[in-house]
Amino acid sequence: MTIRTLPWRRRVPTLLIATLLQALFVVAFLRGLSLAGHALPARPLLVSIITAPPVRAPLPPKLPVPNLAQAPAIPPLIAPVVVLPSVLATNATSVQSAPTFVSGPLDADEYYPMEARATFSQGHVWTRVCVYSTGDVASVALLQPSGDAQLDQAALTVAKLTRWKPAMANGKPVARCTRFRVDFSLRRSAPLLLN
């Protein structure tokens, strides 16, 4: 089977007609754009600003005051008082023993302030440690400072971390306070804990 093609002479008129139609479309399109661009007036727009006096909105009507019943007075709050009952209830003759020091922090050396070491500050700090009847530390206070505020604060921190066996009175554990000394010395690697 053979495929025959038309000779080029037959195709030329068709190509010329298609080319002319495309050229007409392009000219019409460009001419339409140029006409549409000139159709707008090229004069400036004049604007005048009219100022009017400000209009005040009317005030809303006053609402009637509600008649509320007088609220009852709030009673004054009383601050709770924390008291170690065993310390206050027992007199000095019935207490047979003082709290016994069991242990301190595992690594007490980390509580020696670096600033105090850098300035070669040393000394001992006397603290007062109050121990509950359970053996837990209730509170700590400074009795005799060392003269260096950093060492005093470090001693209070160490005293809070101590463990105690509670004092005994008539065979029962009671809450009691005791003196506790923390020594800071550069000759040792850690503060010495003394009861």
**Which residues span the domain enclosing 180?**
97-194
Structure tokens at 34: 């140029």
Is position 83 within any domain? Answer: no
Predicted confidence band of residue 87 (pLDDT cuts 50, 70, 90): very low
At residue 194, the pLDDT reads: 56
The Cα–Cα gap between 173 and 154 comes to: 29
Residues 158-193 pLDDT 10s? 889 888 999 998 889 999 999 988 888 777 654 555
* β-bridge mates for residue 20, sequence order: none
Is position 145 within any domain? Answer: yes
Is position 130 within any domain? Answer: yes
Residues 99-158 pLDDT 10s? 888 888 766 668 888 888 888 888 888 999 999 989 889 999 999 988 889 989 988 998
Is position 81 within any domain? Answer: no
The Cα–Cα gap between 35 and 27 comes to: 12
Is position 176 within any domain? Answer: yes
User: Does the structure show a pLDDT above 60 at 95?
Assistant: no
Residue partners of 137: CB distance under 8 A and separation at least 6: 129, 130, 131, 159, 160, 162, 164
Q: Residue 123, exposed/middle/buried by CB under 10 A (0-12, 13-18, 19+)?
A: middle
Is position 128 within any domain? Answer: yes
Q: What is the pTM of this model?
A: 0.48
Reduced to 3 states, what is the DSSP secondary structure of residue 136?
A: coil
At residue 107, the pLDDT reads: 65
Region of 175 please: left (phi>0), alpha (psi -120 to 50) or beta. Answer: beta
Is position 183 within any domain? Answer: yes
At residue 118, the pLDDT reads: 85
Is position 153 within any domain? Answer: yes
**By percentage, how much of the chain surpasses pLDDT 70?**
69
At residue 76, the pLDDT reads: 55
Q: How many domains does the chain have?
A: 1
CATH number, domain of 118, equals 3.30.2420.10
User: Does the structure show a pLDDT above 80 at 52?
Assistant: no
